[in-house]
Amino acid sequence: MFIDTNVLVSARIPRAPDHDIARARLERVVQELEPMRISRQVVREYLAVVTRPQTWEVSISRQDALDDVNRLISNLEILEDGPRVTERLIALFRDVAVGGRQIHDANIVATMLAHGEHRLLTFNASDFRRYRDWIELMSF
């Protein structure tokens, strides 16, 4: 299962919306021995989100953010970007009306597909509905 950045952030920040829901769902995935996957894009997004002011008080330091990333990289499978992902992204771009910031989500889907992953856990289901012919949105 591919884990979107917003789930990781919500699980990490106690004052984030849906914190308890995110933690419980990730714990359930771990208990079920479900492989959890992310990409390096998710790592970058995670660092960007937890180090900028939000609607909630960010309570982790830069060092804690780096420690978090090291744990993510050590404990989750990293789906690497590369030529296959770029090919999938271009194909999605041809098939789905996306542009601008939506390309980031398209790249997540392209990464998933290039690695044979079809399940996505995200709080932003509306952003990914356009890809429902290719991926399954996992519920909370």
CA distances from 27 to 32, 84, 100, 134 (A): 9, 31, 34, 26
- CA-CA distance, 66 to 51, in Å (whole number)? 10
Model confidence pLDDT, tens digit, residues 13-47: 998 889 999 999 999 999 999 899 999 999 999 99
Distance, in Å, from the CA atom of 4 to the CA atom of 81, rounded to the nearest integer, reads 15
44-67 confidence digits (pLDDT tens): 999 999 988 776 676 688 899 999
Kindly report whether the global pTM for this prediction surpasses the value 0.85: yes
pLDDT on residue 48: 92
**Are 14 and 64 spatial neighbours (Cβ–Cβ below 8 Å)?**
no
